[in-house]
Structure 1
Amino acid sequence: MPAERAGGVPGDGEVLPTALVEDIAGWSGWQGAPWGRLRYRIVDHTLERVCRTVSGRPLRVLDAGGGDGTDAIALARRGCRVTVLDTSPVLLERARANAAAAGVADRVRTVDADLEDLTALAALTGFRAGGSGSFDLVLCHDVLQHRPGGEARVRADIATLVSSVRPGGCVSLLASNPAGDVMAAVVRRHDLPGALHLLDASAAHDPVLDREVQRVSPELAEAALVEARCSVDFRFGIRCFTDLVDDDRRKAEPGFYADLERLELAACDREPYLRTARSWQIVGRRRG
């Protein structure tokens, strides 16, 4: 079944970058690489913990900028009913195919829409008018850094996402970690001038998409969640150590990979390691 539409033409800030859509094969290769698999394994682990703290079953989940549905399908396997929102027909088609292959097509729906279209999405999905309080859990993973508009846009996007979750429900935000960028420049690339530049840079190069993205700090995300009347209930680091190992061949060795996965899962919520991970994940809970 094709993706539903919400609100007509998507807004000017597409939720997934065009470069990703144009290189599906490259994106799939990244997902299948050890570092890509670890990203999804760790996030599956953190979301399982978050879901245990949210009442109601089945959980109603919105994955904003959910792309090919990889995070959504993991949740659907746990019994959640997930709406994947994205502006890329190519990725939404892959999400539907992936859901069917995983046997969860009846629990995953796709909607061709942008974050600005959440009001229209509420009517489309049959939830309460306006979207307020519609979902038990809202995800916005690897999206905020790709949206133009700087800090003001980040705050506005997070407020919109919070408006779509019910009181007591959670919003999970995930983005590249500015501190992780600096650490990788020093430890992995030995690029000291580059690390010095990154200390105060507002943008950085995304090696997966080969494009500049804005740097969104976890402190900004937390402040925006608090402004939107959320408590900050979880802080995670996604890949605290993987990107500091400069020998990528070791990561493909089964024994090394298994040890690395155990270490990453054990450290993902521990200070100080989460502060310099490749990505940060912040989970807020909407107050009543």
Structure 2
Amino acid sequence: MSDPMRPPVSHQHPQTASLRSDPSRPRASLRTAVVWEVLQDALDRRVKATGRQALDVLDTGGGSGNFAVPLARLGHRVTVVDPSPNALFALERRAAEAEVADRVKGVQGDAHGLFDVAERGGYDVVLCHGVLEYVDDPAEGIRNAVAALRSEGVLSLLAAGLGGAVLARALAGHFKEAKQALQDPDGRWGQGDPMPRRFTAQQLTGLVEGAGLRVGAVHGVRVFADLVPGVLVDTEPGALEALLKLEEAAAELSAFHSVATQLHVLGETTETSET
């Protein structure tokens, strides 16, 4: 599995800040900024609720550590479960370079056999980013992720959005493919589509609620970023910052969820929502 990828908050996550200021990775910041803002807010609330500065985080399908290593740099303990040995090797190298190898553990496995390699009920936060698109049974994948949470915990779910794919195919002039994606049960535009499955916001929230969690927030990710010419973002002064702010402003508006490339859902245990 590959690494994919809120209400306004006053602070800025350090990883988001570094991506914003790195001119060599403009697209990376657009793919992750909104998710980082939401996730950081959730982590802060869990730290406050537990009284522990270091949380136990499970990153299913976490690959080479795009989220795991920055979380470890914040002091959290992260277990990454991924089926790819190459990705786990890259994770080990990245964690060592970031000097957080003692807080990052990589194990080979997948969402369906999660508890062969991860502890049931052992984590404060579970990341399920870019996983549901590939599993045979998304509902089972979510149930396993939720079962890995402690009695009070948070699920961060990131998955491909149907509307963004339909819009992208239509704007590219592939109208038949756009219609095919719109009507296909898995949201695929044809046999050449590299994405096995896409979701609507309603489908994702239904999966989260069906697994027993309360939906804390839903955000659209990459609402505009994939539609804007790369040359504009890379060369126009101030364009990246302005586009990031636009993405953040649109992310929490339900009107834009239907056209986002990805959808992020934050699920919380009922105990968490009542504290």
Of 178, 181, 185 in structure 1, the residue corresponding to residue 162 of structure 2 is 178
Amino acid at match of 2:87: L
Of 126, 132, 155 in structure 2, the residue corresponding to residue 144 of structure 1 is 132
Give the drift of 1:205: 6.0
- List structure 1 runs of 4+ shifted beyond 3 angstroms: none
SS at match of 2:113: helix
Say whether residues 1:68 and 2:64 are aligned partners: yes
Of 173, 180, 200 in structure 2, the residue corresponding to residue 197 of structure 1 is 180
SS at match of 1:116: coil
Of 226, 230, 253 in structure 1, the residue corresponding to residue 213 of structure 2 is 230
| Counterpart-to-counterpart distance in 1, 2:141 and 2:206 | 13
Structure 1, gaps ≥5 residues long: 1-15, 18-31
Say whether residues 1:42 and 2:34 are aligned partners: yes
Question: Scaled by the length of structure 2, what TM-score is found?
Answer: 0.81
1:1-288 mapped onto 2 (5 Å cutoff): 16=1, 34-54=26-46, 55-56=49-50, 57=52, 58-122=54-118, 131=120, 133-147=121-135, 149=136, 153-187=137-171, 189-201=172-184, 202-204=186-188, 211-245=194-228, 247-253=229-235, 255-288=238-271
| Counterpart-to-counterpart distance in 1, 2:182 and 2:113 | 35
| Cα-to-partner distance string for 1:40-65 (whole Å, 9 max, x where unaligned) | 23322221122123233211100000
Contact 1:177 1:278 in 2 (8 A): yes
| Counterpart-to-counterpart distance in 1, 2:94 and 2:165 | 31
Residue in structure 1 matched with residue 7 of structure 2 by the alignment? none
Aligned-residue identity in percent: 33
Contact 1:155 1:221 in 2 (8 A): no
| Counterpart-to-counterpart distance in 2, 1:216 and 1:174 | 10
Give the drift of 1:285: 0.9
SS at match of 1:103: coil
Q: 1:75 to 1:205 in 2, by over 3 A?
A: farther
Contact 1:175 1:280 in 2 (8 A): yes
| Counterpart-to-counterpart distance in 1, 2:216 and 2:248 | 18
SS at match of 1:226: helix
| Counterpart-to-counterpart distance in 2, 1:110 and 1:116 | 17
| Counterpart-to-counterpart distance in 2, 1:224 and 1:43 | 19
| Cα-to-partner distance string for 1:206-238 (whole Å, 9 max, x where unaligned) | 9xx972412233322211221221100011111
Give the drift of 1:102: 1.9
| Counterpart-to-counterpart distance in 2, 1:190 and 1:33 | 28
| Cα-to-partner distance string for 1:233-260 (whole Å, 9 max, x where unaligned) | 0111111111222x22112125211221
Contact 2:59 2:127 in 1 (8 A): yes
| Counterpart-to-counterpart distance in 1, 2:126 and 2:69 | 14
| Cα-to-partner distance string for 1:91-142 (whole Å, 9 max, x where unaligned) | 00111111122222221111111223332324xxxx5xxx0x2100101101
SS at match of 1:85: strand
Contact 2:178 2:189 in 1 (8 A): no
Structure 2, gaps ≥5 residues long: 3-23
Q: 1:269 to 1:36 in 2, by over 3 A?
A: same
| Counterpart-to-counterpart distance in 2, 1:194 and 1:83 | 39
Contact 1:144 1:216 in 2 (8 A): no
Give the drift of 1:203: 4.1
> Aligned-pair RMSD on alpha carbons?
2.2
Amino acid at match of 2:131: V
